A and B are shown apart, each in its own frame.
Chain A
Amino acid sequence: MTRFVDSTITFPYRRSLGPVVGAFMTALTERRILGVRHGDAVLVPPMEWDPATGAELAADLVEVGPAGAVDSWTWVPTPSEQHPLDHAFAFAFIRLDGATTPLLHAVDAGSSAAMSVGMRVAPRWKGTRVGRIDDLACFVPGEDAETDGEDTGPAAEPVERMDYLASITYRNPVPASNDRIVEVSHEHRLIGLRCPTCARVYASGNGYCPIDAIPLGPECETDLPNTGTITNFVVVTPTPYPGQTETEPFARVFVLLDDTDVVITYSPVVDLAARDVRVGVRVRAVWIDDEDDGATGGLFGAWGSFAGWRPTGEPDVDNPDLVNRIF
């Protein structure tokens, strides 16, 4: 059975809004909805440019609505976590009074039977507004705008930026060869896969030969030596970002294994200060001891019990071509 792993990626975006969208968002905090004039038309939501031709518009903003009529609608019986309401609702294109184009938003109508093309709706504002499209909690049937809870008033300053947190959970298959590398690491072994066509050996766990484009199964497995020479390295000065746990500069090294053509890429060093890392250092693999309960290897355990490389104490290898070997 293939193993799958879940991972959640979040992107905390902060977007600048510009003069037109910024004015629209600022007006939302004032419980007003703005469109932009374009000839005889009024575009809602307002744009800096004509969406059809790209021609710049004059930023001639005009208040519309707040009530309007439904152009088209659909019923959402089971909302997602991203939807504006947590119970069944309608998404609708709403043509606000004075607008030429419809705005997409939610209508809290109770049931689909209450929805129809042409029906009149008005905003339900949030009490606390920050300058986002969801300052409009939703629209409700009728002509009268309402406010949900206590009104905390408009924004003190013009709204110039908008936060948006994108978060997606992915479920990806883990190649069996990847798991196999972790498994044998507990026996303090490094393994590779030898391509039967070109005889190249791959130490990564992808399970195929990228040169011949063929899969490499367990029958291709071969043991690799635990010793080698640093060919190249990078010292990373960590900058704070979500998920970064390192605080001090750290080294990642590339190691050419002895008597092979295999380079183990981007791995940590042990008992070797970042300032002392150099090309040509002789190293041996370091393994997390079995009794070291709870410890994980380097790179968050991606290599199992393999923790990185420790200098052997042998003299450095003096070979100017070594530095070229990063793959």
Chain B
Amino acid sequence: MTSRDIAVVGWAHTPLVRHTEQSETRMLMDVITAAITPLGLTRADIDFTCLGSCDYITGQAFSFVSNLDAIGAWPPKRDSHVEMDGAWALYEAWLRLQEGDIEIAVVTGSGRSSTGDPSLIYPMEMDPYFLAPLGADPVTFAALQARALIDAGIASERAMAEVAVRSRGKGDVDTLLAGDYVREPLRRHDLPPITDGAAAMVLAVGDRARHLVEHPAYITGFDHRTECHNPSFRSLTDSPSTRIAAAAAGRGDGPIEVAELQAAFTHEELLLRSVLELGDDVVVNASGGALAANPIMASGLCRIGHAADHILGGGHRALAHSTSGPCLQQNLICILEGTPAEMTA
């Protein structure tokens, strides 16, 4: 039997700042405490943890091992790690809870972008034969995709500036459009901030979830898909992995009230809205999204957290999206609802 009765019951994030003086482990220590304490839980109540982080960004091999100090792993705990955004750690914890033998899981995402220069680190993660030797950086790839979307009529520089103004709640479009290009056609406002931070989320099953909070945010659909790595071989004006993941997660099974999209660049929100068929009736990125704060390895988990807040507050149906890789290579869709999906045999 597969239990679909699994819910987000709470979450927390650290201050999301340009530069923190805390180590990643210390950020996690604080944020896990902040996530579990309001629920009346202690670390002893946690049956499983899955941490999302990236050694490449930390500059320390096996840095995730020291992060275990934040979960209080004594007596020994069930634990896992993904070298991905915490949104994928949540996916693993959701799968693990379906085993049916445990009740509470905590997932985290954490990263200190300020440890290095992202424009120099990310090219080294790219294809080592054709891309890394050219220093092909993420802002360059984003700009190439933005131009393709503009040429295809899916985005425009004005629509992109409107996304920036709405997400950050400041500035006006005409002033922004008068600014210089960082990577034509991208201006400063089209780019995400560089952010340090961590997030932690608590999952619970069945009656345990209902005892912890009044309105558990049930995960009723969850899927992630990837495309090939090199953007040379992909259509930059589509996101088939997002479309397939959304269909598999049941995006079309009912109306979406709130969507949180991990669109680090303004044009990515326009593409994702188009692919996910989100109309003007859907509130998109009320949190400000990744354009307001973009904590590396935690940005996607924060999207799911903000979508869950809508349900925890009494809402009915929300969609959260996370992504990884250049030009939206890999995409994850999580559907959260106020009532659990029917049990499936």
* Chain A interfacial positions (CB closer than 8 Å to B): 2, 7, 9, 13, 15, 17, 21, 25, 43-45, 47, 51-52, 71-77, 79-84, 91-93, 101-106, 112, 117, 132-134, 162, 164, 166, 168-173, 175, 206-208, 210-215
> A4 CA to B337 CA in the complex, in Å?
44
Residues of B within 8 A of A103 (CB): 130, 232
**Residues of chain B at the chain A interface (Cβ within 8 Å):** 21-23, 25-26, 29, 32-33, 43, 58-60, 66, 68-74, 112, 114-117, 119-121, 123-124, 128-137, 140, 143-145, 147-148, 151, 181-186, 228-233, 236
Which residues on A sit within 8 Å (CB–CB) of B134?
A: 82-84, 91, 104-106, 133-134
- Check B148 against A72 for contact (C-beta < 8 Å): yes
On whether the beta carbons of A74 and B233 are closer than 8 Å, the reply is no
Contact B70 A45 (CB under 8 A): no
Which residues of chain B are within 8 angstroms of A83 by Cβ–Cβ distance?
134-135
**Closest residue of chain B to A90, judged by CB?**
B184
**Complex CA distance for A210 and B131, rounded to whole angstroms:** 41
Q: Knowing A45-B130, A210-B73 touch, does A74 contact B232 (C-beta < 8 A)?
A: no
A contact residues around B115 at 8 Å (CB): 170-172
Residues of B contacting A166 in the complex (Cβ-Cβ under 8 angstroms): 124, 132
Q: A144 CA to B34 CA in the complex, in Å? A: 63
- Whether the pair A75, B181 counts as a contact (CB closer than 8 A) is yes
Looking at the assembled complex, report how far the CB atom of A193 sits from the nearest CB atom of chain B, in whole angstroms. 13
Whether A132 contacts B69 by the Cβ 8 Å rule is no
A-B contact pairs, 8 of them (CB 8 A): A79-B135, A82-B137, A84-B135, A104-B136, A164-B132, A213-B69, A213-B72, A215-B29
Q: Taking the nearest CB of chain A, how far is it from the CB of B72, in angstroms? A: 4
Partner of B119, one of A75, A80, A164, A208: A80
Complex Cα distance, B163 from A163, in Å, reads 42
B184/A172 in contact, CB under 8 A? no
Known: A75-B183, A213-B69. A51 touches B137 (CB 8 A): no
State whether B147 touches A117 (Cβ < 8 A): yes
Measured between beta carbons, the chain B residues less than 8 angstroms from A7 are 59
Q: How close is A27's CB to chain B, nearest CB, in angstroms?
A: 14
A/B pair count, beta carbons within 8 Å: 154
What is the CB-to-nearest-CB distance from B325 to chain A, in angstroms, rounded to a whole number? 13
Residues on A with beta carbons closer than 8 Å to the beta carbon of B74: 210-211
Chain B residue nearest to A198 in the complex (CB) = B74
Name the B residues within 8 Å of A92 (CB-CB): 144
Partner of A210, one of B72, B112, B119, B183: B72
The answer for the CA separation of A43 and B228 in the assembled complex, in Å, is 14
Most buried by A among B26, B72, B73, B134: B134
Cα A15 to Cα B43 with chains together (Å): 44
User: Which chain A residues lie closer than 8 Å to B140 at the CB level?
Assistant: 74, 76, 91
**Chain A hits for B148, CB < 8 A:** 71-72
CB nearest neighbor in B for A207: B26
**Given contact pairs A21-B129, A91-B136, A169-B116, A74 touches B69 in the complex (Cβ within 8 A):** no
Given contacts A74-B144, A168-B120, could you give 14 more A-B pairs where the C-beta distance is less than 8 Å? A15-B128, A21-B129, A52-B233, A80-B135, A104-B130, A104-B144, A132-B133, A164-B128, A166-B124, A168-B59, A170-B59, A171-B114, A171-B116, A213-B72
A213, B32: Cβ atoms closer than 8 Å: yes
User: Is A75 touching B184 in the complex (CB atoms < 8 A)?
Assistant: yes
The 8 Å CB contact of B23, one of A47, A101, A104, A175, is: A175
Residues of A within 8 A of B124 (CB): 166, 168
In-complex Cβ contact of A74 among B70, B71, B133, B185 (8 A): B185
Residue in A closest to B73 when the chains form the complex, CB atoms: A210
Interface centre among A74, A76, A103, A211 (most CB of B within 10 A): A74
Q: A145 to B91: give the CA distance in the assembly, Å.
A: 50
A42 to chain B, nearest CB (A): 12
Name A91's contact: one of B116, B144, B236 (CB within 8 Å).
Answer: B144
> In the assembly, what is the distance between CA of A69 and CA of B167, in Å?
36
A271 and B278 CA atoms in complex are apart in Å by 73
Tell me the smallest distance from the CB of A312 to a CB of chain B, in Å: 33
Shortest Cβ distance from B337 into chain A, in angstroms? 32
8 closest Cβ contacts across the A-B interface? A82-B135, A170-B59, A74-B143, A210-B69, A51-B228, A2-B21, A213-B72, A51-B233
CA distance in complex: A254, B204 (Å): 42
Q: Are A45 and B232 in contact (CB under 8 A)?
A: yes
CB distance from B237 to the nearest CB of A (A): 10
Contact B73 A133 (CB under 8 A): no
Residues of A within 8 A of B231 (CB): 93, 104
Which residue of the partner chain, among B29, B68, B131, contacts A104 with CB atoms under 8 Å?
Answer: B131
From residue B146, how far is it (CB to closest CB) to chain A in Å?
8
